[in-house]
Amino acid sequence: MSDTSSGEQQPEAEISPNALQAYATLGKYLEQDGWYPRPAEDKHAYRMYYRGKSGELRCFAQIHMNLEQFTFYAIATVNVPEEVRPAVAEFLMRANYGMRIGNFEMDFADGEVRFKTSLDFEGEALTDNLIRHAVYPAVQTMDRYLPGLMKVAFGAMTPIEAIQEIEG
């Protein structure tokens, strides 16, 4: 995952105690829940993997310290070839329509596809339940749509066919 849009670290003097506690809570939750998180270099974030029914996903969980926000990404491990990115973008927009929690994103520069959930906890404690309710919808949704994403990306289906197969 390119980290250009995920913000930069601030000096410790500018980071709120609530944000520091949230980062500690996130790390403890991920450890206890069996995610085997690895701290991301130069960020208040963790990297990990998730194995679903449809394949393995890279995951990135970040606390935006200056904003007191939590973002979780479930990332496909295969980047979309450049020539089919418009078709995959159509597939992702069709998937996003009506999505209640989170959304799909694709980086047109490199073909990375990810599902993002996020929440703002400004002035509130980030709890295990809040983390759980951001993490699991992301990985479960990406896992559900991953077969369709691959079929569109590698020419086996049109975006409409793939969505119909997934959503019925």
Residue found under tokens 């007191």: 68
Alpha-carbon span 89 to 94, nearest angstrom:
9
CATH code, domain carrying 108? 3.30.1460.10
Count of domains forming the chain:
1
Report pLDDT for 132: 98
Residue found under tokens 């929440």: 119
Which residue type, as a one-letter code, is found at position 98?
G
* pLDDT band per the 50, 70, 90 thresholds, residue 14: confident
Is the pLDDT score of 115 beyond 70? yes
Residue 59 lies in a domain: yes
> Containing domain of residue 109, as a range?
12-167
The encoded tokens of residue 126 equal: 């980030």
Coil, helix or strand at residue 70: strand
The encoded tokens of residue 143 equal: 């896992």
Is the pLDDT score of 38 beyond 60? yes
Residue 1 lies in a domain: no
Contact, 133 vs 72, CB < 8 A? no
Report pLDDT for 145: 98
Residue 3 lies in a domain: no
Instruction: Round the average pLDDT of the chain to a whole number and report it.
Output: 93
Confirm whether pTM is higher than 0.85: yes
The encoded tokens of residue 94 equal: 């069709």
Three-class secondary structure assignment of 22-66: HHHHHHHHHHHCCCCCEECCCCCEEEEEEECCCCEEEEEEEEECC
- Report how far Cα 61 is from the mean position of its chain's Cα atoms: 8
Please spell the DSSP secondary structure of 100-159, one letter per residue.
SS-EEEE-TTT--EEEEEEEE-TTS---HHHHHHHHHHHHHHHHHHHHHHHHHHTTSS-H
Alpha-carbon span 118 to 62, nearest angstrom:
9
Residue 83 lies in a domain: yes
